[in-house]
Amino acid sequence: MKRLSPESWLVTAGRPEEPGASLNIPIIPASNFALDGDRIYSRESGTAGWESLEEIMGGLEGGDAIAFSSGLAAVTAVFDQLAPNARVVLPDDCYHGVSELARMGVEKGRWELSRLAVDDTAGWVAAARDSDLLWLESPSNPLLTVADLATICAAPRKDGSLLAVDNTFATPLNQRPLELGADISMHSATKFIGGHSDLLGGVLITNRSGLLAGIRKSRTVGGATPGTLEAFLAVRGLRTLAIRLEKAQETAGRLALWLDAHPLVEHVRYPGLVSHPTHLIAASQLDGFGAMISFDVAGGADAADAICRNVKLIRHATSLGSVESTMERRAAVPGQEHLPASLLRLSVGIESFGDLCADLQQAFGIN
């Protein structure tokens, strides 16, 4: 049979195949297995539930996937591969938990850290020559800047170095970092993969076998294995990822234009807008512009906070990638004070465009 398209793969992969089997892998709450079989103890030998999640994710991005208890557990396993005194480079705009993890390692003398602007392609290319870990995030959180991954991945690199891409905002449907030359693609499965704000999970995908073994070892020894229920829910979420994302990003594209024309909005950051500074890279590198929009409102932090209090359909909440739209003033989050004070980050869900506009309009105080 011809290779399946991603939306068909999402629906069909990772299911039991034996005659008479349930179509879905059941939730099997098991730590311990009777000896002399394939599985012994689930932290070490895995469960059918999380292997199903790994099969689906690996197939989507062209590598082997390893599932974790959270996105940050997955990131931790990457940093765990570094030798002492490694040189790590992080984007200036990235998930704050990753920044915090990297900062803690510096404090403990584990590695050196420098930071580069997401769109400083020449800087990343130069850093590739003498760095041990290039950690990229694209589109970045929350400024939605797109890195020129193809150029950065093609740059000559230090022997044994790692190039990892946080692919959470793009999802495997919009971007496949391994195809562009990255060693590792990372996801917080908590977001678009789960898609319902009801689980924590993380996934790494790599096509380098030595790295795969090292990462798996880190998970086994570090114990950051996914929960049984969470793995089930993540697979359940993946079944509808294609239609959820298609709907959400179609609405996001329309909302970005609507916000861009709104008198109370000063600046919209959405990679799909031609005015976006990295729109051209986004258009050539991504298969879709995603469901995240950041925008600055007039009136500063107070006005932005009022809008967050006023929204009714959109939930004032921190996380993203779910069926329900969520919004937050990012500079209000501890450690994020460097961001524009009135920047609102909106994760567009699958509600109707008209209802979302009406909700924002009433939240802006316009009837």
Catalytic residues: 43, 95, 166, 191
Least distance between ligand PLP and beta carbon 145 (Å) = 13
- Note the residues at the interface with ligand PLP (CB under 6 A): 70-72, 95, 97, 137, 141, 166, 168-169, 188, 190-191, 200, 202
Toward ligand PLP, which CB reaches closer, 127 or 204? 204
3-state helix/strand/coil string of the chain: CCCCCHHHHHHHCCCCCCCCCCCCCCCCCCCECCCCCCCCEHHHHCCHHHHHHHHHHHHHHCCEEEEECCHHHHHHHHHCCCCCCEEEEEECCCCHHHHHHHHHHHHCCCEEEEEECCCCHHHHHHHHCCCCEEEEECCCCCCCCCCCHHHHHHCCCCCCCEEEEECCCCHHHHCCHHHHCCCEEEEECCCCCCCCCCCCCEEEEECCHHHHHHHHHHHHHHCCCCCHHHHHHHHHHHCCHHHHHHHHHHHHHHHHHHHHCCCCEEEEECCCCCCCCCHHHHHHHCCCCCCEEEEEECCHHHHHHHHHHHCCCCEECCCCCCCCCEEEEHHHCCCCCCCCCCEEEEECCCCCHHHHHHHHHHHCCCC
Closer residue to ligand PLP in complex, CB, 262/288: 288
CB of 70 to ligand PLP, least distance (A): 4
CB of 63 to ligand PLP, least distance (A): 18
Smallest separation, CB 13 to ligand PLP (Å):
22
Which CB atom, from 92 or from 355, has the smaller least distance to ligand PLP?
Answer: 92
Please identify, using beta-carbon distances, which residue of 191 and 329 lies nearer to ligand PLP. 191
Give the residue at shortest CB distance from ligand PLP. 71
